[in-house]
Chains A and B, each alone.
Chain A
């Protein structure tokens, strides 16, 4: 008798659980059937009249029915919770394409970018980064670099003279002099910075531009070691192996002096308008440091030897980005600068 009662209760309760439409209805079923005063509890009260064997059997059935119903309830409850969560998540739709608040990043000047990149490269090779003033003495800019007064080499650099007799430095080379005094041999240094030449400005000429001076002084510095260093530098700058050639170039502070050319990156050698059909593009002057310059830097040229080079950062930037007018760089025009 109890068996059937239990069975029909379990069956009807299962139906009601499945039929419950809300979490509240489900709770009502739970209270009515499984609650302390619920139907199951009622049924269990009738067990006192049964034989011990029957009681044990019915007890087991009762427990089983309770466990089953509780599981069904829980599962149904979870369905409601899941649905509620899903509904909330769905309602929380946002437009992911809306622009984010806060400042839009600006950008660094392309000359800054290339300069920082090279500073990082050199620093990683143990090279010190030095600075020198933009207003230099005539002595540091010329005399100490083996360009005495009335030397025709002074014509190679149209100079801005200042009323006080100083100059706006025409190259970063004076930092060689400062570097030798500061670091002493052996040394490895670079000095990037702003330089000035008294020239009319047009698409390919500027009176204000940027150079990076480099210098190494050591015991076994030779043309071969200079070449090694230059190739290392150029591989990094261009991101690939470049073919270089050295040819004679005159700069009073080096002996021998060179112009370093790279094989034209546009045509690869046969000749094109960019390389003026020569297959080569002049990239940087370099050379072994003139013994007079070492001496003026307090370094004994019989014991030490050095190389130096000057890299035109402005030119490099123009080559890298294909900039056809040098005047953009100092125009302050954001339509240009925001491209970098």
Chain B
């Protein structure tokens, strides 16, 4: 929302703060400002000038004009405008003016020195009219353009006005400024201008909940023409486009009082009656923007006897729009239910200056002020305009003003600093609350109508009013009284932290990936689209699903980083988000790590397995059927204490250039298994005996399997078994390998005799032979 400094200065008598200072005050007391910019700075160097002579310059489309600028003398100006002709009074920009970033001086055009320039309204920043130079009527040459002065525009963040319907107009902000600075607020609307005679227009409101008030006034003898330049400049300053005098007045009142208004061409209405009703099912309506909307009863319309003439609170209709030929107009100033307007506007994706205001819950009292202000302006911009009858005003019974009980001790406790009751009273009264003494230390505070629609309803709201006005800087920090106790434990966070620390210490760099995945990627990884939760309004089609695996993200990381690096290791901890039958989603934490080597072979796979062993001491891996993205001969399940907790695989060569192995651990599954309870074992007092064993097996026999078979034959004396090496080649037969282990056997109560050790060894050898292995003895 843009605020014109000049406009505010007109509404606050004796405003002394500079635009910058005003912005600072608004920011710390009321609402966040995004900045302040000068607007129309050049206007102080623009004066009226009369064109005395204008002649074509041969060979150029420019004209040479001699102008009379009164006391500023006569000058020659080169001008390209088609309407540059003798006799008109126009705007002369004096040399030495900066205009739209351009320096206007004395410059040669077509070999003629031009002093300054004659300007169009667009060049002056008043409207978008660039057809020709402005024609000012009979203004004395050399005088400034009337009411066109340099301004400043303060931009206030709309989000910070969400709860303040009253600040969507200059007068509301002026009220704040007056309260902040102690200056006097002026009232621009003179309600006594409204005739008290009956109106020829009948207004009927179907649902007073949806339309608490509808005020209208009929005018005749209307002249539609451009607004005076000062009015156009005002609108331009606050970001509204000047259109014609009538529409401009409605926008001016909206920008001043926050009250959206609409003007219908009264001769284009089918009846002198206005109906505020829900749209009929499939009723069509062509709006001012040229679009035709098909409505449902969920939208409120303004209708005449024939049909919808406006979408209530959002936009007017094309058929009843003000045009050059308009001579009678019906001026609407109404109030609508905020949520209903908001629903209509979001359903139709049509946000207008009006809907933005109505959805904040406007004050029904304001409709009449709007009409009163418009009367005065219309009389200025459309000379001869006449009111026909008085105000048509249908309204719900006005609600009693809310009264809030405010206890001083409670207020002081909330603020955390002492404050005098008299100061509280002054602050609230400056903000136009009514303050009555109820009891000792208790106020009864009556909320003004413009704050009562939604903004202020409970005593906590008054804490803010008092707090911001005394200035939060006057509140000193105070240590809270808190019972101290160790906080509730969060074992999952501890676990995450331990895993992260371990992964980083083992050489892995942490990445964060998005929670989104595209349908295409999901398919590529064999993840069925219907298993995913879909985003109803994705930013783009490739972010339409919520990830049910972290692997696609990690794959992207591998692909991207392999462009720059020959080897790397990375990991992510994040949530898989699965559909399930509960109310929300099933979010499963996973750790996914990747190891990449451009020229490697088995290195990445076993490195990833090493990481698994660090995280899950004693974990095992078992060959698994490969998924689409996995190397068919290099895929495994990870088991920990008998339970599957993850997957270990190398990416299929179709997915990655080079070798990339992935460890994907389900952290929830790891947590479910829980820690091992540890018991102390006395240290063995008798020495152990070691011996080696070599097993000849088929080339693809699994070492893990051979080892567990050996263990199964070794019996209770086996203390440990360690894989030593495997070997293929001569003198072993083709297709076989030798796998060697070192075993250690011992007894708790004695040193094993060599015969006992040999006995264990023989048992193993015989057992293994029984399974069909050759043993090298």
Q: Across the interface, do A164 and B569 meet the contact criterion of CB distance under 8 Å?
A: no
> Complex formed: what's the CA distance from A197 to B468 in Å?
30
Closest chain A CB from B413 CB (angstroms): 6
Smallest CB gap from A167: residue in B: B536
Chain A positions within 8 Å of B493 at CB level: 119, 129, 131
Chain A positions within 8 Å of B504 at CB level: 105-108
Closest chain A CB from B529 CB (angstroms): 12
**B478 in contact (CB, < 8 A):** yes
**B492 in contact (CB, < 8 A):** yes
> Complex formed: what's the CA distance from A305 to B480 in Å?
12
Q: Across the interface, do A163 and B460 meet the contact criterion of CB distance under 8 Å?
A: no
Given the interface pairs A183-B488, A220-B413, A247-B32, the reply to whether A152 lies near B359 with Cβ below 8 Å is yes
Closest chain B CB from A245 CB (angstroms): 6
Given the interface pairs A150-B343, A222-B416, A228-B480, the reply to whether A245 lies near B473 with Cβ below 8 Å is yes
Q: Choose among B31, B417, B501, B568 the residue that contacts A224 (Cβ–Cβ < 8 A).
A: B417
**B467 in contact (CB, < 8 A):** yes
Q: Across the interface, do A126 and B482 meet the contact criterion of CB distance under 8 Å?
A: yes
Instruction: List the count of A-B residue pairs having beta carbons below 8 Å apart.
Output: 258
Smallest CB gap from A282: residue in B: B32
Given the interface pairs A135-B585, A332-B513, the reply to whether A248 lies near B468 with Cβ below 8 Å is yes
Chain B positions within 8 Å of A142 at CB level: none
**B61 in contact (CB, < 8 A):** no
Given the interface pairs A162-B534, A334-B568, the reply to whether A231 lies near B477 with Cβ below 8 Å is yes
Chain A positions within 8 Å of B490 at CB level: 128-131
Q: Across the interface, do A290 and B460 meet the contact criterion of CB distance under 8 Å?
A: yes
Q: Across the interface, do B515 and A208 meet the contact criterion of CB distance under 8 Å?
A: yes
Given the interface pairs A131-B492, A162-B546, the reply to whether A218 lies near B162 with Cβ below 8 Å is no
**A161 in contact (CB, < 8 A):** yes
> Complex formed: what's the CA distance from A194 to B547 in Å?
14
Which chain A residues (185-209) contact chain B, with CB distance < 8 Å? 186, 188, 194, 196, 198-201, 207-208
Q: Quick one: which of B31, B473, B583 has the most chain A CB within 10 A?
A: B583
Among A36-44, A59-67, A73-81, A249-257, the stretch that binds chain B is A249-257
Which chain B residues (565-591) contact chain A, with CB distance < 8 Å? 565, 568-571, 575, 577, 579, 583-585, 587
**B503 in contact (CB, < 8 A):** yes
Q: Across the interface, do A166 and B584 meet the contact criterion of CB distance under 8 Å?
A: yes
Q: Across the interface, do B477 and A337 meet the contact criterion of CB distance under 8 Å?
A: no
Main secondary structure of the interface of A (DSSP, over half): mixed
Q: Choose among B413, B503, B568 the residue that contacts A222 (Cβ–Cβ < 8 A).
A: B413
**A262 in contact (CB, < 8 A):** no
Closest chain B CB from A108 CB (angstroms): 5
> Complex formed: what's the CA distance from A166 to B27 in Å?
36
> Complex formed: what's the CA distance from A305 to B411 in Å?
12
Q: Across the interface, do A109 and B477 meet the contact criterion of CB distance under 8 Å?
A: no
Q: Across the interface, do B338 and A103 meet the contact criterion of CB distance under 8 Å?
A: no
Chain B positions within 8 Å of A186 at CB level: 482-483
Closest chain A CB from B497 CB (angstroms): 6
Chain B positions within 8 Å of A134 at CB level: 515, 575, 577, 585, 587
> Complex formed: what's the CA distance from A128 to B536 in Å?
34
Closest chain A CB from B68 CB (angstroms): 44
Closest chain B CB from A264 CB (angstroms): 15
Chain B positions within 8 Å of A112 at CB level: 500, 510
Smallest CB gap from B512: residue in A: A330
Chain B positions within 8 Å of A218 at CB level: 480-482
> Complex formed: what's the CA distance from A256 to B513 in Å?
36
Q: Across the interface, do A222 and B510 meet the contact criterion of CB distance under 8 Å?
A: no
**B684 in contact (CB, < 8 A):** no
Closest chain A CB from B399 CB (angstroms): 19
Please, what's the 1-or-0 string for B483-517, where 1 marks a CB less than 8 Å from any CB in chain A?
11111101011000100110111111111111100
> Complex formed: what's the CA distance from A194 to B338 in Å?
32
Chain B positions within 8 Å of A229 at CB level: 480
Q: Across the interface, do A153 and B480 meet the contact criterion of CB distance under 8 Å?
A: no
Q: Across the interface, do B535 and A332 meet the contact criterion of CB distance under 8 Å?
A: no
> Complex formed: what's the CA distance from A19 to B286 in Å?
123
Closest chain A CB from B541 CB (angstroms): 14
Chain B positions within 8 Å of A216 at CB level: 480, 482
Q: Across the interface, do B535 and A162 meet the contact criterion of CB distance under 8 Å?
A: yes
> Complex formed: what's the CA distance from A109 to B28 in Å?
36
Q: Across the interface, do B497 and A107 meet the contact criterion of CB distance under 8 Å?
A: no
Smallest CB gap from B593: residue in A: A106
> Complex formed: what's the CA distance from A104 to B339 in Å?
59
Among B70-78, B556-564, B734-742, the stretch that binds chain A is B556-564
**B777 in contact (CB, < 8 A):** no
Q: Choose among B413, B508, B514, B564 the residue that contacts A330 (Cβ–Cβ < 8 A).
A: B514
Q: Across the interface, do B481 and A337 meet the contact criterion of CB distance under 8 Å?
A: no
Q: Across the interface, do A198 and B460 meet the contact criterion of CB distance under 8 Å?
A: no
Q: Choose among A129, A149, A224, A282 the residue that contacts B478 (Cβ–Cβ < 8 A).
A: A224
Smallest CB gap from A249: residue in B: B160
Q: Across the interface, do B569 and A127 meet the contact criterion of CB distance under 8 Å?
A: no
**A329 in contact (CB, < 8 A):** yes
**B414 in contact (CB, < 8 A):** yes
**B537 in contact (CB, < 8 A):** yes
Closest chain B CB from A252 CB (angstroms): 8
Chain B positions within 8 Å of A208 at CB level: 514-515
> Complex formed: what's the CA distance from A223 to B575 in Å?
37
Which chain A residues (250-304) contact chain B, with CB distance < 8 Å? 250, 252, 255-259, 276, 282, 288, 290-291
Q: Quick one: which of B162, B343, B487, B493 has the most chain A CB within 10 A?
A: B487
Q: Across the interface, do B162 and A250 meet the contact criterion of CB distance under 8 Å?
A: yes
Q: Across the interface, do B415 and A222 meet the contact criterion of CB distance under 8 Å?
A: yes
Q: Choose among B160, B342, B579 the residue that contacts A250 (Cβ–Cβ < 8 A).
A: B160
Q: Across the interface, do A337 and B479 meet the contact criterion of CB distance under 8 Å?
A: no
Chain B positions within 8 Å of A259 at CB level: 32
Q: Across the interface, do A276 and B480 meet the contact criterion of CB distance under 8 Å?
A: no
> Complex formed: what's the CA distance from A199 to B560 in Å?
24
**A320 in contact (CB, < 8 A):** no
Q: Across the interface, do B585 and A334 meet the contact criterion of CB distance under 8 Å?
A: no
Chain B positions within 8 Å of A196 at CB level: 515
Closest chain A CB from B568 CB (angstroms): 6
Given the interface pairs A106-B503, A126-B486, A133-B587, the reply to whether A153 lies near B510 with Cβ below 8 Å is no
Smallest CB gap from B490: residue in A: A129
**B159 in contact (CB, < 8 A):** yes
Chain A positions within 8 Å of B515 at CB level: 134, 168, 194, 196, 208
Q: Across the interface, do B482 and A188 meet the contact criterion of CB distance under 8 Å?
A: yes
Chain B positions within 8 Å of A291 at CB level: 458, 460
Please, what's the 1-or-0 string for B309-350, where 1 marks a CB less than 8 Å from any CB in chain A?
000000000000000000000000000001100110000000
> Complex formed: what's the CA distance from A130 to B486 in Å?
14
**A221 in contact (CB, < 8 A):** yes
Q: Across the interface, do B480 and A258 meet the contact criterion of CB distance under 8 Å?
A: no
Smallest CB gap from A279: residue in B: B24
Q: Across the interface, do A256 and B533 meet the contact criterion of CB distance under 8 Å?
A: no
Smallest CB gap from A289: residue in B: B460
A-B contact list, 19 entries, CB within 8 Å: A103-B505, A105-B504, A106-B506, A119-B493, A152-B360, A160-B537, A168-B546, A208-B515, A227-B477, A245-B472, A248-B30, A248-B464, A250-B160, A250-B162, A250-B164, A330-B513, A332-B513, A334-B511, A334-B565
Top 10 closest pairs, chain A to chain B, by CB: A224-B416, A222-B416, A103-B507, A256-B464, A150-B339, A228-B477, A332-B557, A246-B472, A225-B480, A135-B585
| 20 further contact pairs, Cβ within 8 A, besides A112-B510, A332-B513 | A103-B507, A106-B503, A107-B510, A108-B504, A109-B512, A135-B584, A136-B584, A162-B533, A218-B480, A222-B414, A223-B417, A225-B477, A228-B480, A246-B472, A248-B28, A250-B163, A257-B464, A330-B513, A332-B511, A334-B570
